[in-house]
Amino acid sequence: MINLFWLGFQNIFQINVLSVIFAGTFFGIVFGAIPGLTATMGVALLLPFTFKMDPITGIALLIAIYIGGISGGLVSATLLRMPGTPASVATTFDGYPMAKKGRPGKALGIGIFSSFIGGISTAFGLAFLAPIVAKFSLKFGFFEYFSLGIFALTIVVTLSKGGMVKGLLSGFFGLLISMFGAAPIDMASRFNFGIKAMKGGFSLLPVLIGLFAVSKILSEVGISSNLLVPRVDPKDIYPPLSFFKKEWVNFIRSTLIGFFIGTLPGVGASVANIISYGQAKSASKHPEKFGTGCEEGIVASETANNAVTGGAIIPLITMGIPGDSVTAILLGGLMIHGLHPGPLLFKYNSDIVYSIFASVFIANIFMFITMLIGIRIFISLLKISKEYLLPIIMVTCIIGSFALNNRMFDVWTLIIFGVIGFMLEKNNFPFPPIILGIVLEPIIETNLRQGLMASNGSFLPIITQPISLIFIIIALLFIISQFTFKKNKHISL
């Protein structure tokens, strides 16, 4: 294993790869810092630029954007009470009050150091746990992967904002989108409506960019961008050593929470930072200080949301199941480069796998350095008018979609799903179930059909094979627990 780690770092320690990681980290931080431009949007926009890159460089770029985007959200969350990404929602609870009290540099410093600790710690967890999970997943057959797909959809649907009903509708919508085009196994054409371009179905990239980027552009049109950004003293950014001694338990707890939630398919950093914040408040000796500019609250939020990044990559590369919406796009990036996540990826492409581990380490280091050095730049970016920013992003979306297959059909797909995403967002329908539905539908359908072929049409192996049964039972228990929680909550009110 040591030799593989060494090989991974050798692949990354090339001038061109390091340059790409640095550029990706910077780009990600910019997207995270500007309200409305999320890490997901950044990864989706840059995905087309990886087509001509080799797999290691291309995947390293996407991971760097991911890590930078999650971290960058703390800038606007702290200074404007506007989370740059959903992962920084809880940062606004104490980051902004601290900035309002005249200590914006201190709030940003705590957030930056917490982000680094959470990110670099989870990188170790990713490197050591992913191979173990991959070995375990070798025991998976057709029905095990089918049950795992159902389990993943169950989690993301039940935990979706807007309630379980909207989560279910979003999940079914994602499944439906992925069913357009050729069916797996027999390649029968479905839902093409006589349109030649529809025989291959919707391309993943235009759908993702439309849902996340174009919908956000449409929602931001007409909203005032006149923001008052407070002045930050860079000298105030570095916390004293006593701060780390005081908060070490909070760092460990928040890292573990973020890493664990990251491994759960479809949950993501937005849930992790809220849960971690709540746990920090419950464990605090002074819970009444939370929400008034409390250091503990910033530590909990920013450590947890960055710890998610390593955890979310584990199910992605070991089983092909995205941990969140960003890793769903990363899955598309892997497939574009001819890589199929799963246990066999470790066997046949171990150099790629360990290069991914190395890129997570390096990207977190670059994120930390870039945030400390470039904090003034990122603050000034918050003042860019949307009148200039949004048209540039829209043009980039169109170029990226057209470049995929050099056809206008993908551009129309981008626009149509942008409008659909805008309407869904206006009605509080969650996006993660849609993305997970799109990604998981081929896994669920293909493995179910192959399993039925192997069992002569019998569904019994779903409940007679232990691993498959465990996933089904956990999924059912999760649904029952959500109904019970909502019922008890209704009674208590």
Domain count, the chain: 1
State phi, psi for 190 to the nearest 5 degrees: -130, 140
In whole angstroms, give the CA distance from residue 30 to residue 41: 11
Query: What is the sign of the dihedral through the CA atoms of 440, 446, 449 and 452?
Result: negative
Helix (H, G, I), strand (E, B) or coil at 189: strand
Place of tokens 């400390």: 372
From the first residue on, what is the mean pLDDT of each consecutive set of 10 residues in the chain (493 residues)? Answer: 78 91 91 74 82 87 91 82 72 83 84 92 84 70 82 68 76 88 80 81 78 77 59 76 88 88 68 77 82 87 88 81 76 80 77 88 92 77 69 77 79 91 86 75 85 89 88 83 59 39
Helix (H, G, I), strand (E, B) or coil at 444: helix
The two beta strands, 181-182 and 189-190, are antiparallel
The Cα 11–Cα 2 span in angstroms is 14
User: Strand, helix or coil at 274?
Assistant: helix
Cβ(63)–Cβ(20) below 8 Å: no
pLDDT at position 492 is 40
**CB-based contacts of 228, cutoff 8 Å, min separation 6:** none
Query: What is the DSSP annotation of 289-331?
Result: GTTSS-HHHHHHHHHHHHHHHHHHHHHHHHHS--SSHHHHHHH
CA gap 17, 53 in Å, rounded: 10
The per-residue b/e assignment along 250-284, b for 16 or more CB within 10 angstroms, e otherwise, is bbebbbbbbbbbbbbbbbbbbbbbbbbbebbbeeb
> What is the C-alpha to C-alpha distance for residues 493 and 490, in angstroms, rounded to an integer?
5
Polymer length of the chain: 493
Both tokens assigned to 456 = 């002569």
Q: For position 381, what pLDDT does the model report?
A: 64
The DSSP symbol for 89 reads: T
The residue assigned the tokens 């980027």 is 213
Question: Do 304 and 258 form a contact (C-beta atoms < 8 A)?
Answer: yes
Distance CA 96, CA 100 (A): 6
Spatial distance between the Cα atoms of 422 and 206, rounded to a whole number of angstroms: 15
Given this model, what pLDDT does residue 125 score? 83
Angle ∠(475,481,486) on CA atoms, nearest 5:
130
pLDDT reported for residue 189: 81
d(CA 374, CA 237): 12
Which residues constitute the domain of residue 484?
A: 2-492
